[in-house]
Chain A
Amino acid sequence: MTTAETSQLRARRRARARLSNGLAYAVLIVIALIMLYPFYWTVITSLEPTGSVYDPKLLPNGVSGRNYSAVINGTSVPFWRMFVNSVVICTLGVTLSVTLAALAAYPLAKMRFPGRDLIFYAILALVVLPNEAGLIVNFVTTRKLGLLEQHAGAFGPLLNMVSQYAAIVLPSLASIVGLFLIRQAYLSVPLELIEAARIDGAKELTIWRRVMLPLAAPTIAAFAILEFVAFWNSFLWARILPLDPQMLPLSAGLLELSGTFSTNSRAVMAGTVITIIPILVVFAFGQRYFMKGLEGAVKG
């Protein structure tokens, strides 16, 4: 082959690559528009002061903060209260579910005792057993535990608040996915490290805190982010429970708002924008952990 022929061939190949890359970008951009435009449209519509609400648009016909002040100040249950509820539920949910799974995974990965394998397989079986009545039975359980009862007296309001937060959070605290993820991370911790700590006289709880937790930190971070997203987004359970209206978290409260506030869709849109922001922030910072956790969760 002459040099002219090879360079011609190379040029043709480069042209074809450029064409195929151009096509790929075109498709990528169209899909990105489909994925992101609904969010963008909600943001710009929530900023508009007036006009027909649902029109398709690329830019807002005006910018004002009145829908935001309407949703923040104008609702029967203060919006800040729902935000606080979401923060409390998420904080409790994430810390407790991570702690419980990280504790329980330690003996399952690194100790030997009768019944260990049985418990492990029993937990594994729970994943596939039919749980369609889960909502129903958990509703009954929550009632039977007295978590929905109204308390009287000086500490009544406080007790009501604590027990209703507990009612919302408790059913999702024992995460089987989290247990498997963290157990998997513990398995790769060298046994010699644990033995050495034991010989030095360390208590098991100290070993867990000083050896296991730091070495499993990336997995635990991944799981924590998965849990944050799950707790922030969950709404069904809180909608089904007969909670005091001021106990609703944001995602559930939004649905309530869309009913009572149906005349002002823009204000509800402003509410959804505020609800999404924390998730996007956490996702942006923890994306790498998040993807890792997701893949691990399916493989495990």
Chain B
Amino acid sequence: MSLGQEAGAAPAPTARRGGQSWRRVARDTLVGYGFMLPFLVLLVVYHTWPVLFGTYLAFTKYNVISPPEFVGLDNFRELAKDSQFWEGVRNSLRYLIVVPVIQLASIGVAMLVNRPLRGIAFFRTAYYVPVVTSFAVVGLIWGWMYQQTGPVNWVLTHLGLMKEPHSLLNNPSSALYAVMFVTLWKGIGYYMVLYLAGLQGIPRELEEAAVVDGASRWQVFWHITLVGLRPVILVCSLLSTISAVKVFEEIFVMTQGGPQGSTYTALFFSYAKAFQDFRFGYAAAAGLVIAVISLAFGVINFRLTRGGKADA
């Protein structure tokens, strides 16, 4: 997209009176940069600089007190042999299970709340409440809910999904899944809103015409709804793939990587190296590797969601 071609954008200064238009450009330049200055200063300090300095730090040894010392690829060599880091990466990749589950669930929920039922606005709002609450609050609440005598254990044992109740976050075999469920629970409403917008963009006549032509519900869903949603699915699954690989906040609040490292994720490794061990260079190197991994999975995800269709 070119800026000048967008609707309503300022047209190129005309050359009708050369002197005046030159003055106009000079004035616009001055005023324009003046308007952008405060924003740009903060953007450069807190967004651009971290990208540049963070990349540089990855090749240094740095503990904040003494200046960074350039060490070449040492950090990456050490990372390659660091089993704790790769265990973290493995847990982050396990977290990708959330992606298809959350996408299917939110498409289903979006189709439900897209029905013209009485009181449907209440349900939409209700499903969105977890999205607007802080992970600090949500993590604490689920921490209590997961206690041995708590409601989650009650439900799981009564449904026969579990024999003995146990503290779900303190058990290495269940902790990661317990945290995943919170991510799912908090995220469904977010994707629901996006899918809802997507559903409302699909012309109703299309579905009605298909029904008149004798298409079954399943066929309508498969050939019209899903096809119409494909651009939204692409965006949503990309977003959730990247945030799954980079999962951190819920781990930080709920388990701090425990028990026995069962929820120790890649980004948690980076955090711990920086703020617990004060190895900022090593932490930045881990961050860079995580960026590459999440990019790779973003690309894979992109291929998968547009795959199989020539027109996509």
Footprint of B on A, CB under 8 Å? 21, 24-25, 27-28, 31-32, 34-39, 41-42, 45, 52-56, 100-101, 103-104, 106-117, 119-120, 123, 126, 129-141, 143, 170-174, 176, 179, 187-191, 204, 208, 229, 232-236, 239-240, 251-252, 254-255, 258, 265, 268-269, 272, 275-276, 279-280, 283-284, 287, 290-291, 294-295, 298
Contact = CB atoms under 8 A, between A and B. Distances in A.
A56 B120 CA distance: 28
B122 to A, nearest CB: 8
Interface in B33-52: 33, 35-36, 38-40, 42-43, 45-51
B127 A55 contact: no
Interface stretch (B130-138, B204-212, B257-265, B300-308): B130-138
B58 interface: yes
Give the most central of A55, A139, A235: most B CB within 10 Å.
A235
B287 A103 contact: no
Interface in B66-100: none
Contact of A114 (B29, B150, B295): B29
Nearest to A99: B38
B154 A56 contact: yes
Contacts of A27: 112
Interface string B139-155: 01111110111110011
B283 A136 contact: yes
Contacts of B155: 56
A269 B145 CA distance: 12
Q: How big is the B interface, by class?
A: 35 or more
B140 A140 contact: no
B159 interface: no
List 3 A-B pairs, minimum CB-CB distance, nearest first.
Answer: A133-B54, A132-B287, A130-B291
B134 A113 contact: no
A53 B144 contact: yes
B64 A143 contact: yes
B32 A107 contact: yes
At the interface, is chain A mostly helix, strand, loop or mixed? helix
Contacts of A56: 150-151, 154-155
A35 B127 contact: yes
Give the most central of B136, B185, B239: most A CB within 10 Å.
B136
A144 to B, nearest CB: 9
B191 to A, nearest CB: 10
Contacts of A117: 3
B147 A130 contact: no
A112 B10 contact: yes
B287 A130 contact: yes
Given A28-B123, A137-B53, A173 B144 contact: no
Contacts of B28: 107, 111-113
A35 B185 contact: yes
Contact of A126 (B43, B58, B137, B143): B43
A21 B257 CA distance: 44
A35 B132 contact: no
A107 to B, nearest CB: 3
Contacts of A279: 132-134
B137 A276 contact: yes
B43 A272 contact: no
A54 B144 contact: yes
Contact of A55 (B150, B271, B288): B150
Given A134-B54, A137-B53, 7 more contacts: A56-B154, A56-B155, A101-B39, A108-B36, A130-B51, A251-B137, A276-B137
Given A107-B28, A255-B140, A187 B39 contact: no
Contacts of A116: 3, 32
A104 B33 CA distance: 8
16 contacts: A32-B123, A35-B185, A56-B154, A100-B42, A106-B35, A112-B25, A113-B32, A130-B291, A132-B54, A136-B283, A138-B46, A170-B45, A172-B46, A191-B10, A258-B140, A298-B239
A287 B150 contact: no
A132 B248 CA distance: 11
B310 interface: no
Contacts of B312: none
A24 B112 contact: yes
B149 A187 contact: no
Give the most central of B45, B134, B252: most A CB within 10 Å.
B134
B57 A170 contact: no
A133 B283 contact: yes
A295 B137 CA distance: 25
Given A24-B117, A236-B249, A294-B193, A254 B136 contact: yes
